Structure 1
Amino acid sequence: MIESKRYLVLDGEKKSIETAIIDYIGILGWAKASPKFVKKSRKNNILAINKKELNNIIASFAISKNKINVLKVSGTLKGLDN
């Protein structure tokens, strides 16, 4: 069974993104969301996550101590090119 993914463009460091997710949803939530860093540009990271956990992931960035902004969410990588 193929998991449907959502791709997030994030303004923040990789380590702070990982820490925010673990602190908010824990190890079990991490496993459910199955986050994977797809690409990294100069300032932004692209994170692929399970579609069902999108709200939990965004909430973890909202309450994080570090400043992590979600710049864009898309169902495809091509949708992030704009």
Structure 2
Amino acid sequence: MKLKQKPSGKVHRRYLLIKGVSEKNIREAILEFVGVLGFAEADPQFVRKLKASEVVLAVERGALVKVRAALAASGVGEVVKVSGTLKGLGPKVR
């Protein structure tokens, strides 16, 4: 019998489509704004690089507001769209 993971134990991620910035600048902006502990809670992972200036970033659901605030405060990039699935970001991401 296969063991199933409880819904409360699953990782809930939100996907951000960010325009106009590099991966290094995004990491530095989040780290500077929320610190090391906040960075660990957000667990940012770069999923895809669409163009030279567009990336898809996956973050934990609870830290979404902090990550958006970090990007807005630093002015490094613009969050175009946020979705719970990659498919929800649009046809460019699929």
TM-score (normalised: structure 2): 0.82
Query: Helix, strand or coil: the match of 2:79?
Result: strand
Matched to 2:11, the amino acid is E
Matched to 2:39, the amino acid is W
Higher normalized contact order (CA 8 Å, seq sep 6+, divided by chain length): 1
TM-score (normalised: structure 1): 0.93
1:8 is aligned to 2:25: no
Identity %: 40
1:31 is aligned to 2:40: yes
CA deviations over 1:3-56 (Å, ceiling 9, x no partner): 110000001111110000000001100110111000001120000000000000
Residues 29 and 76 of structure 2 are in contact (CA less than 8 Å); yes or no, is this contact kept in structure 1? no
Give the superposition deviation at 1:67: 2.7
What is the Cα-based RMSD across aligned positions, in Å?
1.0
Name which one, 1 or 2, has greater alpha-carbon Rg: 2
Moved over 2 A (4+): none
**In structure 2, C-alpha distance between the alignment counterparts of 1:35 and 1:5, rounded to whole Å:** 10
Structure 2 alignment gaps of length 5 or more: 1-8
